Amino acid sequence: MRRKLVVSSLALVILILSFVQPVFSQVTQPLREGNVVADVVEKVSPAVVNINTLKVATYRSPFAPFFEDPFFRYFFGDTPQYERKVPVRGLGTGFVFRSDGYILTNNHVVEGADEIKVTFIDGKEFTGKVVGADPLTDLAVVKINASDLPVIPLGDSDKARVGEWVIAIGNPYGLSHTVTVGVLSAKGRPIQSGDSGREYENFLQTDAAINPGNSGGPLLNLKGEVIGINTAILPYAQGIGFAVPINMAKEILDDLIEKGRVVRAWLGIYIQDVTEEIAQTFGLSEAKGALVADISPDSPAEKSGILRGDIILKVDDQEIDNVAKLQQTIRSHKPGDKVTLEIWRNKEIIQLQVTLGELKEEGIPTVSPRAYFGMEVSEINPELIQRFSLRRNEGVVIVSVEPNGPADEAGLRPGDVILEVNRQRITSLEDWYQATATIKPQDVALLLIDRGGRTYFVPVRAEENR
Any idea which residues carry the catalytic annotation?
Answer: 108, 138, 215
**Residue 301 — φ and ψ, nearest 5°?**
-65, -45
How many Å apart are CA 171 and CA 51, to the nearest integer?
8
How many Å apart are CA 102 and CA 91, to the nearest integer?
18
Query: What is the full DSSP assignment across 325-349?
Result: HHHHHHHTS-TT-EEEEEEEETTEE
Q: Write the burial class of residue 356 (CB in 10 Å: 0-12 exposed, 13-18 middle, 19+ buried).
A: buried
How many Å apart are CA 143 and CA 131, to the nearest integer?
6
Contacts of 162 by beta carbon, 8 Å cutoff, 6+ apart:
183, 184, 185, 186, 187
Q: Write the burial class of residue 308 (CB in 10 Å: 0-12 exposed, 13-18 middle, 19+ buried).
A: exposed
User: In the chain, how many H helices and how many E strands?
Assistant: 12, 28
**Residue 372 — φ and ψ, nearest 5°?**
-145, 130
Which residues are paired to 230 by β-bridges?
243
Cβ(116)–Cβ(92) under 8 Å? Answer: no
Is the sign of the CA dihedral 374, 380, 383, 384 positive or negative? positive
How many Å apart are CA 393 and CA 381, to the nearest integer?
7
Residue type, 403: P
